């Protein structure tokens, strides 16, 4: 893995990191780590990717959430996951590679028309993302950029994202405090605050995305839809069918009927652009909910899964957890990946 150069002025804010709402304040340039567990930004992988929007996707390592269902757990929970990543890539080199890929015949056949920063959570690497975008637009001024976010960023970080993005894909897990904490380890308030801001920039929004986990946040579909319709009924929302993964590797996948129901609920609430995507119906067996730390049924079940792998702070609060640097969720290795 290449070492980060000693002098990078645009990285200096990482000496007291305040990019996301954990506001850890650690000196990541000196090797200190916060909730995301990433020092200097690291590229996990990059490639032309067919998922909408079709793009050249740069996956950044690290995440400020510790979601129980993480599909990209080896990227999101690096270095605890032990996953293999590309490491430090000079922004100018990354930009040259990305622009060349977007102008290739393969990209044209695929319809890839933008850079797509994902992860993990690219907010943890915002300084690096901005620099890559700057370098890319020095080569091709019309370079489009998508930013894929869990929404857990400071208002200042969101302002910066809105300045350079062409499109934003924005995930909402729940509006209920207990359900959101049980699933992600973080409070929902910053996410909902930022969703309200993004909704004021409909030209920037590709879509809001809601991963539907049966028995956990399926009871949140209507509250999420009502939250969004109050912002703007024309906001696009896509429900994603949960596939058994990570800590929830044995949990049943979302059914076709549940996904159809999610879209119906969205339209009944008044949303005008609701769809669903994914591969429903994957088999599994749910645990019996028994966690006493949560009153809401979906949170109780999610909390039960978290406790089963050793998560000790409930309701979950990764930013204030004594296990933040030895987290059994981050170091969990599933035997199944769908």
Distances (CA, A) of 164 to 101, 146, 271: 20, 9, 28
Q: Residue 226 belongs to what domain range?
A: 178-184+208-331
Residue 316 lies in a domain: yes
> Looking at per-residue confidence, does 337 or 55 come out higher?
55
Shared domain for 52 and 138, answered yes or no, is yes
Residue 190 lies in a domain: no
DSSP of 145-202, one letter per residue?
A: EEEEE-S-B-HHHHHHHHHH-SEEEEE---SSHHHHHHHHSS-SHHHHHHHHHHHT-T
Closest C-alpha among 15, 57, 66, 16 to residue 37:
66
pLDDT tens per residue, range 104-159:
999 999 999 999 999 999 999 999 999 999 999 999 999 999 999 999 999 999 99
Average pLDDT over residues 44-51: 94
DSSP of 6-59, one letter per residue?
A: S--GGGGGGGG--SBTT-----GGGT---TT--SS--EEEEEEE-SSSPEEEEE
Taking CA 243 as the corner, what is the angle to CA 241 and CA 249, rounded to the nearest 5 degrees?
150
Closest C-alpha among 117, 97, 113, 101 to residue 160:
117
Name the phi and psi angles at 66, rounded to 5.
Answer: -130, 65
Shared domain for 153 and 247, answered yes or no, is no
Name the phi and psi angles at 48, rounded to 5.
Answer: -65, 135
Closest C-alpha among 314, 240, 309, 312 to residue 279:
240
Residue 198 lies in a domain: no
- The torsion defined by the Cα of 224, 229, 235 and 236, in degrees rounded to 10, comes to 50
For CA atoms 113, 44, 170, 127, the dihedral sign is negative
Average pLDDT over residues 46-66: 96
End position of a domain, from candidates 171, 200, 217 = 171
Shared domain for 53 and 156, answered yes or no, is yes
Rounded to the nearest integer, the mean pLDDT of the chain is: 96
What percent of the chain clears pLDDT 70, i.e. is strictly above it?
Answer: 98
Taking CA 73 as the corner, what is the angle to CA 217 and CA 236, rounded to the nearest 5 degrees?
45
pTM (whole model) above 0.85: yes
Domain count, the chain: 2
Is residue 300 predicted with pLDDT exceeding 60? Answer: yes
3-state DSSP call for residue 227? helix
- Identify the residue whose tokens are 């609701």: 274
Closest C-alpha among 63, 37, 67, 119 to residue 247:
67
Written as six digits, the tokens of 214 are 């049966």
Contact yes or no for 255/218 (Cβ under 8 A): no
Residue 89 lies in a domain: yes
Shared domain for 138 and 220, answered yes or no, is no
pLDDT tens per residue, range 258-297:
999 999 999 999 999 999 999 999 999 999 999 999 999 9
Average pLDDT over residues 311-318: 97
pLDDT of residue 3: 61
Is residue 229 predicted with pLDDT exceeding 90? Answer: yes
Contact yes or no for 183/152 (Cβ under 8 A): no
Residue 215 lies in a domain: yes
CA pair distance 42, 85, nearest whole angstrom: 8
Contact yes or no for 115/28 (Cβ under 8 A): no
Task: Give the CATH number of the domain where residue 63 resides.
Answer: 3.20.20.70
Is residue 5 predicted with pLDDT exceeding 70? Answer: no
pLDDT of residue 1: 46
Residue 201 lies in a domain: no
Shared domain for 228 and 87, answered yes or no, is no
Contact yes or no for 143/158 (Cβ under 8 A): no
For CA atoms 155, 157, 162, 166, the dihedral sign is negative
Is residue 253 predicted with pLDDT exceeding 90? Answer: yes
Written as six digits, the tokens of 28 are 């990541």
């Amino acid at each position: 893995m290449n070492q980060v150069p000693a002098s990078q002025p645009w990285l200096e804010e990482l000496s007291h990191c305040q990019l996301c709402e954990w506001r850890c304040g650690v000196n990541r340039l000196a090797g200190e780590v916060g909730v995301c567990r990433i020092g200097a930004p690291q590229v996990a992988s990059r490639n032309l990717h067919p998922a909408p929007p079709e793009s050249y996707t740069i996956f950044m390592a690290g995440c400020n959430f510790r979601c129980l269902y993480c599909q990209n757990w080896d990227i999101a929970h690096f270095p605890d996951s032990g996953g293999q990543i590309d490491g430090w890539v000079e922004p100018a080199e990354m930009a040259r590679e990305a622009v060349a890929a977007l102008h290739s015949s393969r990209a044209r056949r695929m319809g890839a028309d933008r850079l797509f920063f994902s992860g993990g959570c690219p907010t943890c690497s915002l300084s690096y993302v901005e620099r890559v975008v700057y370098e890319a637009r020095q080569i091709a001024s019309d370079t489009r950029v998508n930013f894929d976010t869990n929404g857990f960023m400071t208002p200042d970080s969101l302002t910066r994202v809105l300045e350079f993005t062409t499109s934003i894909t924005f995930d909402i897990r729940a509006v209920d405090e207990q359900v959101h904490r049980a699933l992600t380890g973080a409070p929902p308030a910053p996410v909902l605050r930022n969703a309200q801001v993004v909704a004021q920039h409909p030209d920037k929004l590709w879509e809001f995305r809601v991963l539907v986990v049966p028995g956990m946040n399926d009871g949140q579909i209507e509250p999420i839809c009502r939250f969004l319709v109050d912002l703007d009924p024309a906001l696009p929302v896509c429900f994603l069918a949960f596939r058994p993964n990570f800590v929830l590797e044995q949990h049943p996948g979302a059914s076709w009927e549940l996904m159809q129901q999610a879209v119906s609920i969205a339209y009944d609430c008044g949303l005008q652009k609701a769809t669903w995507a994914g591969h429903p119906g994957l088999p599994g067996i749910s645990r019996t909910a028994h966690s006493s730390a949560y009153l809401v049924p979906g949170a109780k079940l999610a909390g039960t899964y978290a406790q089963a792998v050793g998560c000790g702070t409930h309701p979950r609060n990764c930013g204030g957890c004594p296990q933040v640097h030895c987290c059994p969720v981050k170091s969990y290795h599933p035997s199944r990946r769908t």
